[in-house]
Amino acid sequence: MQDRVTIAMEDGVADVRLARGEKLNAIDRAMFDALAAAIETLAARTDLRAVVLSGEGDGFCSGLDMAAMAGGDLAGLDLSARSHGPANRVQQVAWGWRTLPVPVIAAVHGVAFGGGTQIMGGADIRLAHPATRFAIRELHWGIVPDMGGFALWRGVREDALREWIYTAREFDAAEAQAAGFVTRLSDDPQGEALALARKIAERSPDAVRSAKRLFGAMGCAPEEMLAMESAEQVALMRGPNHREAVRANMERRRPVFTDV
pLDDT, tens digit, 9 for 90 and up, residues 160-183: 999 999 999 999 999 999 999 999
* % pLDDT > 90, the chain: 91
210 vs 76: CA distance, rounded Å: 38
Per-residue pLDDT for 185 more than 80? yes
Greater confidence (14 vs 81) lies with 14
| Residue ranges in the chain assigned as alpha helix (H) | 29-43, 66-70, 89-99, 115-121, 149-152, 158-167, 173-178, 189-201, 205-216, 222-237, 240-250
Integer angstrom CA distances of residue 156 from 130, 174, 176, 177, 244: 18, 14, 9, 9, 37
Name the residue type at position 174: A
| Per-residue pLDDT at 256 exceeds 90 | yes
Residue 7 burial (CB count, 10 A): 16
> CA-CA distance, 112 to 133, in Å (whole number)?
6
Give per-residue pLDDT as tens, 197-231.
Answer: 999 999 999 999 999 999 999 999 999 999 999 99
Q: For the segment 72-90, what is each residue's pLDDT rounded down to a tens digit?
A: 777 777 888 898 899 999 9
Cβ contact 62:23 at 8 Å = yes
Q: How far is CA 245 from its chain centroid?
A: 28
Residue pLDDT, tens place only, 94-128 = 999 999 999 999 999 999 999 999 999 999 999 99
At 52-70, the pLDDT tens digits run 999 999 999 999 998 887 7
The per-residue pLDDT for range 29-43, each reduced to its tens digit, is 999 999 999 999 999
What is the pairing mode between strands 13-18 and 5-10? antiparallel
The domains found in the chain, sorted by start residue, are: 5-200 (3.90.226.10), 204-251 (1.10.12)
Query: Which residue would you say has higher pLDDT here, 71 or 182?
Result: 182
Q: CA 215 to CA 94: how far, in whole Å?
A: 17
Residue 106: name the closest of 192, 20, 214, 217 by CA.
192
User: Residue 93 has what pLDDT?
Assistant: 97
SS3 64: strand
pTM above 0.85, yes or no: yes
Q: What does the angle CA 116 – CA 172 – CA 39 come to, to the nearest 5 degrees?
A: 20
pLDDT of residue 58: 98
DSSP state, 259? P
